[in-house]
Structure 1
Amino acid sequence: MYDRVTAPPASRTDFVLESIKEAILNGKLKPGQALVETDLAAALAVSKTPVREALKTLAGSGLVVMSPYRGAAVRTVDAELARSVYDVRLLLEPEALRRSVRLGASFDEAASALEDVPDLARRSLANRRFHRALYAGCDNPLLVEVLDGLSDQAALITVAGWGIHPSWDDEAAEHRAILAAAVRGSAELAAELLHRHVQTFADRVVRELSDVLR
């Protein structure tokens, strides 16, 4: 179930954290699925202590919910969560990209994230890398921190959206157009294309999640 990271972090807690996070973000651990400490520890060949610490961290980032009676579970994605997360992204991410372009930031990392990913489950992780590379060069650490703080939940929503309606081919084409504008130095066009890209996906996911609950 879990894919080992290429270069395991120094501590076991970090290793467990990255392993569980990747399993959630690539859809191997489903929204609403219970996260049993003993099962996770056995799967990752560690004790329960690093698993417990990792689950607390994931709860803080919004990927996991903790209940005193039911324990931990992967966060369930609903329309309200998607609406809230994407509302903030639409306010901040295009502006961060606009600043990155104007500052002459490098978008090499964004370009590498566009490489074909044959494993469909990993496309969410590539999508996340692409978007972060767009805003990382905005020269505002707090802005980057806020967007990073949303990235886990945004990736979880992306997995849910693709599960309902696979649309990665269309989004990959939109990514290429955004990147091309950014590399050309067209800050306003890049920001406009990014806003349209995020808005289109958000509208669809909110609508489809609302339909699922009816």
Structure 2
Amino acid sequence: MTSVREAGTTTVPVPIPSRTQFVQEAIKHRILTGQLTPGQPLVETELAESFGVSKTPVREALKTLAGTGLVVMNQYKGVTVRTVDADMAREVYDVRLLLEPEALRRTVRAGASLDAAGEALARADAAADTAERSLANREFHRALYLPCGNPLLGRMLDEVRDQAALVSAVAWAAAPSWRREATEHREILRLALAGDGEGAASALHAHIASFVERAFPRDGADDGRR
């Protein structure tokens, strides 16, 4: 069923998100804000009661979230929030390192608008909590790669967005470093707006690589934390 709103003299239908979509976004938000922690069991009956829905939309939402890599479905252990370790983080960030700088290079080369990236930076600076900041940071990166001119490349990067956000959430909980990342974001955007595609791509590559090295240092490496 849909509601309607008036647009002049025309009645325009307003779609209502499905129960599955609602539950999916709610669970994702809880995961990315740390309310549901890595390794935590996700019990269909408990979630259904929490959201006031039947188990069916919960089950469908969990299947979708498993497809995006935020949860793990196991025949014996049931469904759990995905655990973040160094191997998982490096797999996700390796994909980003391979694809994201090239996408930004193409965005700059095409002269695409970067207004959305600037707006996302402003939202991150004004964020009231880690959840808002994380969402704004995700939108900043997406605004850099989405206008690259290759829809398939954009979709491939979209597919790892949630996993990258989960890695960030876990890393920030251990050692908040968003001020450093915000400074790096501003430099990346400055170079991109100046038309320096190579410089922007290089700065983005260094930004992604340094984050995963700080958050998940290799054995014997000093991550700089005290």
The corresponding residue for 1:43 is 50
Whether the 8 Å contact between 1:25 and 1:125 is mirrored in structure 2 is: no
* Whole-angstrom distance in 1 between the partners of 2:103 and 2:175: 28
Residue 126 (1) aligns with residue 136 (2): yes
Note the residue ranges of structure 1 that are not aligned, 5 or more in a row. Answer: 1-6
Residue 175 (1) aligns with residue 182 (2): no
State the AA in 2 paired with 1:68. Q
- Measured after TM superposition, the shift of residue 8 of structure 1 is 8.7
Deviations 1:82-120 (A, max 9, x none): 111111111110000000011011111111111221112
The corresponding residue for 2:29 is 22
Aligned residues between the structures: 205
Q: Which residue, out of 149, 158, 167, partners 2:168?
A: 158
Note the residue ranges of structure 2 that are not aligned, 5 or more in a row. Answer: 1-13, 222-226
- Measured after TM superposition, the shift of residue 157 of structure 1 is 0.4
The corresponding residue for 2:110 is 103
Normalised to the residue count of structure 1, the TM-score between the two structures is 0.91
- Measured after TM superposition, the shift of residue 208 of structure 1 is 7.6
Task: Classify 1:208/1:24 alpha carbon distance in 2 versus 1 (closer, same or farther; 3 Å).
Answer: farther
* Whole-angstrom distance in 2 between the partners of 1:31 and 1:185: 40
The corresponding residue for 1:87 is 94
The corresponding residue for 2:61 is 54
- Measured after TM superposition, the shift of residue 127 of structure 1 is 1.3
Q: CA RMSD in A?
A: 1.9
Task: Classify 1:72/1:131 alpha carbon distance in 2 versus 1 (closer, same or farther; 3 Å).
Answer: same
Task: Classify 1:180/1:28 alpha carbon distance in 2 versus 1 (closer, same or farther; 3 Å).
Answer: same
Aligned to 2:160, what secondary structure does the other structure show?
helix
Deviations 1:14-62 (A, max 9, x none): 1111111111112221111111111111111111110000000100111
Aligned to 1:66, what secondary structure does the other structure show?
strand
* Whole-angstrom distance in 2 between the partners of 1:208 and 1:37: 37
Aligned to 1:181, what secondary structure does the other structure show?
helix
Task: Classify 1:209/1:51 alpha carbon distance in 2 versus 1 (closer, same or farther; 3 Å).
Answer: farther
The corresponding residue for 2:76 is 69
* Whole-angstrom distance in 2 between the partners of 1:209 and 1:77: 17
State the AA in 1 paired with 2:131. A
- Measured after TM superposition, the shift of residue 122 of structure 1 is 2.4
- Measured after TM superposition, the shift of residue 163 of structure 1 is 1.2
* Whole-angstrom distance in 2 between the partners of 1:23 and 1:194: 28
Whether the 8 Å contact between 1:8 and 1:15 is mirrored in structure 2 is: no
Normalised to the residue count of structure 2, the TM-score between the two structures is 0.86
* Whole-angstrom distance in 1 between the partners of 2:67 and 2:152: 18
State the AA in 1 paired with 2:59. R
Aligned to 2:202, what secondary structure does the other structure show?
helix
Whether the 8 Å contact between 1:65 and 1:75 is mirrored in structure 2 is: yes
Whether the 8 Å contact between 1:77 and 1:157 is mirrored in structure 2 is: yes
Q: Relative contact order, CA 8 A, sep 6+: which one is greater?
A: 1
- Measured after TM superposition, the shift of residue 81 of structure 1 is 0.5
- Measured after TM superposition, the shift of residue 146 of structure 1 is 0.8
The corresponding residue for 1:4 is none
- Measured after TM superposition, the shift of residue 143 of structure 1 is 0.6
